Amino acid sequence: MTDSTHAEPRRAGPRGGSAPSPGPEAPISAPDGEKKKVVRVGDQVFRALASGSGAFVVALIAAIGIFLLIRAVPSLQVNQVSFLFSRVWDTSDPSALAFGIFDLAWITVASSVFALVLAMPVACGIALFLTQYAPRSLARPFAYLVDLLAAVPSVIYGLWGALVLAPVINPVASWLNTNLGWIPIFADGNIRADSGANVFTAGIVLAVMILPTITGVTREVFARTPTAHIEGALALGATQWEVVRTTVWPFGRNGFIGGSMLGLGRALGETVALTIILSFTFQAPNYSIFDAGATFASKIALGSAEFNHNLQVGAYISAGLVLFIITFAVNAIARWIESASGKGKA
């Protein structure tokens, strides 16, 4: 007797053929209305903490802005000159306040923008070198070295700029003033061009200070360039520079701009270094990079001895409110540009 005699007979199909044997039955899923979402206590606690932290930061920023506004309004109401366009700053007599921020705005913006012009190409070059050209064994320690610049205290930068850097670059400042003085930005300032205590020196120091910020953001964005884009360009015969120009730069351009705006916000709020370098004259600036004077932040630091009357304090808080608004706007723009870059927009 063979095994075929014990085989189970096949059932006939609709046309006489054998019907396929039924497969394993799929599990019966519960109706949508009966599905229960499992909620863990840890998830609820973490969500509450995260939401609370975000709300706290927003509330803290709003509270700072409201505080500055409340303290500034009484002084602005008794101000005897135009707050935005006057070049006078006299808060010695609380009953006759006269303070304007025009000159403060010039020194602040000039030093910060000059620093940004110097730092942006250097930061972009460093980021491209670390992500596209340098071997991994060199890129990592070199990146750490650049990041360490952010750990140097501001007072050290100020002393280095005034005592070490200024004597070295004074001949360059004199040459620019002598040969390009017909351009208003290089004309005579309110202090000698070769004094070292001017926007020219301060801008170079600020450029070194903001270099880690711009380089760090730009490096991270360039490193996120899709590998498929780079390999595709190389497969088409592109050189390394053509890969950078056609794939890496279009992908990371917005991130580079966003990082530069973050660096600008850092430069706008710098206090100690600029106080050491620029506070050598009280004369009105001539709107040249060879001017000295005070920025918003350094003016507040230098005027702390006058914080004896609410109206006097309010005058300096008014300047701080303008700086707060400018810095907040610059950082908000930077975050928006950086987020756009994260989506790969060119």
Distance of CA 241 to the CA centre of its chain: 27
Give the number of other CB atoms < 10 A from CB of residue 180: 11
The per-residue pLDDT for 344 is: 45
> Smallest Cα–Cα separation from 310: which of 48, 91, 22?
91
**Contact, 271 vs 301, CB < 8 A?**
yes
Residue by residue, pLDDT tens for the chain (346 residues) are 444 444 444 444 444 444 555 555 555 555 555 556 677 888 888 888 999 998 999 999 999 999 999 999 999 999 999 999 999 998 888 888 899 999 999 999 999 999 999 999 999 999 999 998 988 888 888 889 888 888 899 999 999 999 999 999 999 999 999 999 899 999 998 888 888 889 999 999 999 999 999 999 899 999 998 889 888 888 888 888 899 899 999 888 888 988 898 899 889 988 899 999 987 777 888 899 999 988 999 899 888 877 888 888 999 999 999 999 998 888 888 778 767 655 444 4
The model carries a pTM of: 0.80
